[in-house]
Amino acid sequence: MQKNSKECQLLDEFIEKVQADTISGQKTIELSEAAQVYEDYWLPLPREPLPPLLDGSIKVFVLEDPLGEHGPLPEEVKADRMRFPAQEFAQVCEKRLEVFRKVTALTAADFSSVLSEEVTSVGYSSELKHLAWHPEVAARDASVAYQVGAGRSRWLQAEDEIAVPWSQLMPLVDQLQESFSILPADNVVFIGLGTGAHLATALAYSLIEKRGIIPARLYTVCPPTVWPSSGAPPAGALVTTPIRYLTCPESVAGPPWRLETATYGDFKQQHFQESSSLMALIAEDLSKLKA
């Protein structure tokens, strides 16, 4: 977030003016209209314990990245250094870009070969695949001091931000979940990869809203952390869904507060270095589901 930008000014106002008695919920200061969209978001949240396994089977649905393998290539770091944070070591930047591209290239078949549970690949409609998922951004002139409106920060990559409005996404997601063969007693697990992690979150929300089925796990792997605020699911929208935010230690994505506040269930942030360690993390966590 850039100093003197409207986003920074909004954050400053929010931090300065949001004062509440968190026990009674009585707000002592009125918020501006711009800040009101965030008034119900608080951390830390009270968390519910992990729910027991239901009587049905465990069904794992993998939401691959609808864009396939994408994002900057590691070799671009040295070829076009001005696109990336000046304070970030080149080798660190290369590592996170490499991990991200490997994640977006993963398929359901990769998980089928590792997990013992039933794994299903979620098929996307042509409309879903061709959404303008991320904003088109222009590099700013980093040779001069930052000025408001001069361009976005190099710390925020387009892949970390979702541009598709919720009003456009949710009707497509509602149609998608209607095609699922899920029984009320099934233990539903979503694994979302890259941009597919945002889709997995929306799908979990739709499943709860339309069928009253709370997922047993939601794994979001290198997900976009910046969502459109208008029409976004409210705090606690995923009820008690246990969420796992999985990313590499080198990630420079913003804090996943949207995911943290989406559930009153168990929330964990975990790191992996390679696809194999990612698979191992998920396999280990699923084994706890069966314990």
The enclosing domain of 128 has a CATH number of 3.40.50
Can you tell me which residue has the tokens 């409210």?
234
Give the CA angle between residues 222, 225, 230 to the nearest 5°.
145
pLDDT in tens, 247-287: 999 999 989 999 999 999 999 999 999 999 999 999 999 99
Q: Taking the mean position of all CA atoms in its chain, how far away is CA 217?
A: 14
Lowest model confidence (mean pLDDT) among 42-56, 185-199, 200-214, 239-253: 42-56
Taking residue 93's Cβ as centre, other Cβ atoms within 10 Å add up to 21
Looking at the structure, tell me whether residues 61 and 97 fall in a common domain.
yes
Looking at the structure, tell me whether residues 97 and 194 fall in a common domain.
yes
Domain count for the chain: 2
Lowest model confidence (mean pLDDT) among 38-47, 142-151, 154-163, 274-283: 142-151
Looking at the structure, tell me whether residues 160 and 262 fall in a common domain.
yes
Cα 194 to Cα 161: distance, rounded to the nearest angstrom: 11
pLDDT in tens, 59-112: 999 999 999 999 999 999 999 888 888 889 999 999 999 999 999 999 999 999
Looking at the structure, tell me whether residues 184 and 220 fall in a common domain.
yes
Long-range contacts of the stretch 167-173 (C-beta < 8 A, 24+): 167/230, 167/231, 168/131, 169/131, 169/199, 169/202, 170/202, 170/205, 170/206, 170/231, 172/125, 172/127, 172/128, 172/131, 173/199, 173/202, 173/203, 173/205, 173/206
Q: What percent of the chain has pLDDT over 90?
A: 68
Sign of dihedral through CA atoms 148, 150, 151, 155?
Answer: negative
Query: Can you read off the two tokens belonging to residue 56?
Result: 């049905």
Looking at the structure, tell me whether residues 62 and 139 fall in a common domain.
yes
Cα 235 to Cα 249: distance, rounded to the nearest angstrom: 27
Beta strands in 54-186 (DSSP E): 58-63, 118-121
Looking at the structure, tell me whether residues 127 and 143 fall in a common domain.
yes
Looking at the structure, tell me whether residues 23 and 120 fall in a common domain.
no
Cα 207 to Cα 174: distance, rounded to the nearest angstrom: 8
Looking at the structure, tell me whether residues 26 and 69 fall in a common domain.
no
196 pLDDT tier (thresholds 50, 70, 90): very high
Report pLDDT for 51. 86
Query: Is this structure's pTM higher than 0.85?
Result: yes
Boundaries of domain holding 135: 47-290
Looking at the structure, tell me whether residues 35 and 64 fall in a common domain.
no
Looking at the structure, tell me whether residues 182 and 244 fall in a common domain.
yes
Residues 6+ apart with CB under 8 A from 179: 123
pLDDT in tens, 24-53: 445 555 667 666 777 778 888 889 999 889
Largest CA distance in the chain: 62
Beta strands in the chain (DSSP E): 58-63, 118-121, 187-193, 217-221, 243-247, 267-271
Looking at the structure, tell me whether residues 17 and 159 fall in a common domain.
no
Q: Are 116 and 60 spatial neighbours (Cβ–Cβ below 8 Å)? A: no
Long-range contacts of the stretch 269-272 (C-beta < 8 A, 24+): 269/245, 270/244, 270/245, 270/246, 271/246, 271/247, 272/99, 272/246, 272/247, 272/248
Query: Can you read off the two tokens belonging to residue 253?
Result: 């994505």
Lowest model confidence (mean pLDDT) among 11-25, 158-172, 213-227: 11-25
Cα 287 to Cα 111: distance, rounded to the nearest angstrom: 15
Q: Taking the mean position of all CA atoms in its chain, how far away is CA 126?
A: 22
pLDDT in tens, 3-23: 777 777 777 776 766 544 443
Mean pLDDT, to the nearest integer, of 231-250? 96
Q: What is the amino acid identity at position 36? A: Q
Cα 249 to Cα 237: distance, rounded to the nearest angstrom: 28
What's the mean per-residue pLDDT of the chain?
Answer: 88
Looking at the structure, tell me whether residues 151 and 18 fall in a common domain.
no
